[in-house]
Amino acid sequence: MLLRILILILPVISLLTACSGAGHVDLFERSEVGYYYGRAVTTIAEGEYRKATASLGEGLEKYRNSGLYTLRGYGYCKLGKYKEAIDDFNMAFKYRQTESFSIASINRHLSRNP
């Protein structure tokens, strides 16, 4: 039941995060954050959720980024770590900001590679 609720919450969080107000993000920071996104999306697509959440944890040590929190929350859901997932989704709300890339596009990629 909790997993179903979390699965329903993830798209809402992603939508709200993607629609947040415009903000300026340094080009270097975007590429660094993008590196962590890319690495995590690849490992999630391969079903390596522990590796993905570890990679995202490294990224979050440097950048408090709503998209990284959202993606790590997804990884935690897949691992059955629902409390950690909810904590990350809450942090995503706290740090929501607009990056140059769309969180919605990441979610589309994940939906094609469950």
CATH at residue 79: 1.25.40
Q: Which residue has the higher pLDDT, 44 or 107?
A: 44
- Please tell me the total count of domains within the chain: 1
Strands (E), the chain: none
Q: Pull the structure tokens for residue 5.
A: 């609720």
Residue 26 CA to chain centroid, in angstroms?
19
Q: Mean pLDDT throughout 101-106?
A: 57
- Cβ(102)–Cβ(22) below 8 Å: no
H or E element that contains 89: helix 82-94
Residue 59 CA to chain centroid, in angstroms?
11
Give the pTM: 0.62
pLDDT of residue 72: 95
Q: Pull the structure tokens for residue 22.
A: 């415009």
Tell me which residue range forms the domain holding 56: 2-112
State pLDDT tens for residues 61-93: 998 888 899 999 999 999 999 999 999 988 888
Q: Mean pLDDT throughout 46-74?
A: 92
Most confident residue range from 6-15, 82-91, 100-109: 82-91
